[in-house]
Amino acid sequence: MRVAVVGDIMADIEIAGNGGWDGACPENPQVVLFKGCKANVLAGGAGNVAYILSEQHCTVDLYVDGPGQKDKAWIGELLKRTLRCNRVHWSGEGNPCLKLRGLCNNQVQVRIDCDEIVQRKQRFVALEALADDCGRYEVVLFADYCKGLVCPETEEIIRKIIRNAKVCIVDSKRLDYSIWHGATAVVPNAAEAARIYSTADPMEVVQKAGAKYCYITRSGKSILFSDGKGTSEIELEKHVDAPYNVGAGDAFAAGLALALGHGESPFCAGQSAMRMAQQYVSKSRKCQLR
């Protein structure tokens, strides 16, 4: 199955292992030191979605910003060594975001973000080509973390992609959801649904977003699903102790893309996506730096 993943990519650096909080920082006694014994470098955001789908034997093409400014090109170079996909279409502008996390017992204890959104000055030619030829993909998946790829200069291109795609999955954090009208499915978590759509009712989200289906994930609880005609629950099949939640939404979106792309019914696709997400959170990601 061929999948196009469009969105924001980031480099995730995780400090993990048998560590945790370890007293005062030598440089500043008001800051508590966090220690770990392993540093893992992974592709986050759209890169994580692409990796998960590639592990399921999909042919995945990535459409992302970067690498831009030379002084931050090292982030893109680092990411290239973590990616697993068929091809990366870089815009040539901006640079991927950088996330630094301290993990203890699979849970994030501290996080530092380096986000720099650069004003677009040139066309994203590959994205324009995708809008004209997205029918060659069974699924187009948007992983939108509001880091710059979706912007006034690309909005009309994205609307065209949604119109032309066979199946379009949207995992977006942005408040302006009008751009996603016509998508096959939107997949907010409960907090995102409340913040973006002012409701946790998936039927209302379907009506507001103009999508065919909505799946609302709820951190270890059943998933709320609607096709616009009613609301139902997709029950979790098992409980996961100490889940690794970094990128769980990526895994659910990837699982849904895989299931809908293979022609599963919307409800059964939600069950398949839930199983993939639960499998993902059952263990930490391995370091993918190659």
| Model pLDDT for residues 93-102, shown as the tens digit of each residue | 888 889 999 9
| DSSP tag of 135 | G
Is 104 a domain residue? no
Q: How many domains does the chain have?
A: 1
Is 24 a domain residue? no
SS (H, E, C) 64-95: ECCCCCHHHHHHHHHHHCCCCCCEEEECCCCC
Average the pLDDT over 55-78 and give the result: 87
Q: Is 159 helix (H, G, I), strand (E, B) or coil?
A: helix
Note the pLDDT of residue 17. Answer: 78
pLDDT band at 174 (very low <50, low <70, confident <90, very high): very high
Q: How many residues does the chain have?
A: 290
Note the pLDDT of residue 243. Answer: 79
pTM metric for this prediction: 0.92
Tell me whether strands 59-64 and 2-7 are parallel, antiparallel or unpaired: parallel
| Structural domain span for residue 67 | 2-10+43-97+116-281
Is 82 a domain residue? yes
Is 288 a domain residue? no
Question: CATH no. for residue 124?
Answer: 3.40.1190.20
pLDDT band at 220 (very low <50, low <70, confident <90, very high): confident
Average the pLDDT over 134-154 and give the result: 95
Residue 37: what residue type? C
Is 105 a domain residue? no
Is 47 a domain residue? yes
Find the helix or strand (DSSP H, E) in which 15 lies: strand 9-16
The alpha carbon dihedral of 226, 168, 138, 94 has a sign of: negative
- Is the model's pLDDT at 222 over the cut of 80? yes
Which tokens hold the place of 283? 């263990």
Is 274 a domain residue? yes
Tell me whether strands 139-144 and 2-7 are parallel, antiparallel or unpaired: parallel
Is 224 a domain residue? yes
